[in-house]
Amino acid sequence: MAHIIVVGNEKGGAGKSTVSMHVATALARLGHKVNTLDLDLRQRTLGRYFENRRAFLKSAELDLPSPANHNLPEIDAATLKPGENVYDHRLSAAVSRLEPDSDFILIDCPGSHTRLSQVAHSLADTLVTPLNDSFIDFDLLARIDSHGEKLLGPSVYSEMVWNARQLRAQAGLKPIDWVVVRNRVGTQRMVNKEKMERAITMLAERIGFRVAPGFSERVIFRELFPRGLTLLDLKDVGVKQLNISNIAARQELRDMMKAMNLPGVEVEF
């Protein structure tokens, strides 16, 4: 059985596609069979990332391990059962086609609440939620008092994950391992950073997720897209000496993947 990783957060710009690209490529580089689906049918950031990778590797005459990205299949409306949602059908058709030939299927969700994203969350064995270090982004997980210290209750996105967990429990599937990774964290000590840390730790216990270390705010994460590369590919494309920031970023990816604790994965890079 393929292990399904869903990268989701209905807040836009949290780092889902950046994390998706790095995790999927790292798994492929570690020798696993990885297929990906981009559920942002309009922006297609992850799909575009892979198109850039293919074009760049071709022009550089390089063959690097790469996940395979797929589009959702088109479905003839006549084949739908009465009342069946066309998106549900397209997603489950895609997953069942990929499952026999995948160790991992990674699904990148859009930064909004859509039917596709909701259904994808109920398929997740591991749910990865990148979260910007900002209380505006935190507000989609939980409400907090004006001092940023006391939790007042869950919010829309956590409620959606809770529903996905209920659906899985009813279907007798194993529970979702929900991992929240902080993204674009500042490298300096800051009051907001520490407040966020406390709030997330508190919330993790309350609504049942694990917190994993994520990526710091680094220019390199924005520069790799046009060539479709990840931090792990740099040496193979001729970068002789990684600078200190890139080495630190690589280490962040390693720590994040270790904390994800994916089945059968030895994180060695």
Ligand X SMILES: Nc1ncnc2c1ncn2[C@@H]1O[C@H](COP(=O)(O)OP(=O)(O)OP(=O)(O)O)[C@@H](O)[C@H]1O
Please give the residue ranges that form the binding site for ligand X (CB under 6 A): 12-18, 40, 45, 110-111, 183-184, 215, 217-218, 221-222
For the bound state, the minimum distance from the C-beta of residue 120 to Mg ion, rounded and expressed in Å, comes to: 13
Residues 23-82 that bind Mg ion (CB under 5 A): 45
* Residue bearing tokens 């080495």: 247
The residue number whose beta carbon is nearest to Mg ion equals 17
Single residue of 9, 17, 122, 158 touching Mg ion by CB under 5 A: 17
CA angle 45, 49, 53 (to 5 degrees): 170
Q: Residue 19 burial (CB < 10 Å; 0-12/13-18/19+)?
A: buried
Distance between CA atoms of residues 50 and 38, nearest Å? 10
Q: Which is nearer to Mg ion, 17 or 66 (CB)?
A: 17
For the bound state, the minimum distance from the C-beta of residue 181 to ligand X, rounded and expressed in Å, comes to: 10
Q: Which is nearer to Mg ion, 92 or 112 (CB)?
A: 112
Backbone angles phi, psi at 217, to 5 degrees: -70, 110
Tokens of 126: 């591991």
Amino acid at 12: G
For the bound state, the minimum distance from the C-beta of residue 17 to Mg ion, rounded and expressed in Å, comes to: 3
22 binds Mg ion (CB under 5 A): no
For the bound state, the minimum distance from the C-beta of residue 185 to ligand X, rounded and expressed in Å, comes to: 8
Q: Which is nearer to ligand X, 16 or 168 (CB)?
A: 16
Distance between CA atoms of residues 65 and 164, nearest Å? 33
Q: Which is nearest to 34 in space by CA: 233, 237, 264, 206?
A: 264
Q: Which is nearer to ligand X, 184 or 227 (CB)?
A: 184
User: Which residues are 180's β-sheet partners?
Assistant: 129, 211
Q: Which is nearer to Mg ion, 56 or 225 (CB)?
A: 225
3-state secondary structure of 19: helix
For the bound state, the minimum distance from the C-beta of residue 99 to Mg ion, rounded and expressed in Å, comes to: 24
Contact residues for Mg ion, defined by CB under 5 A: 16-17, 45
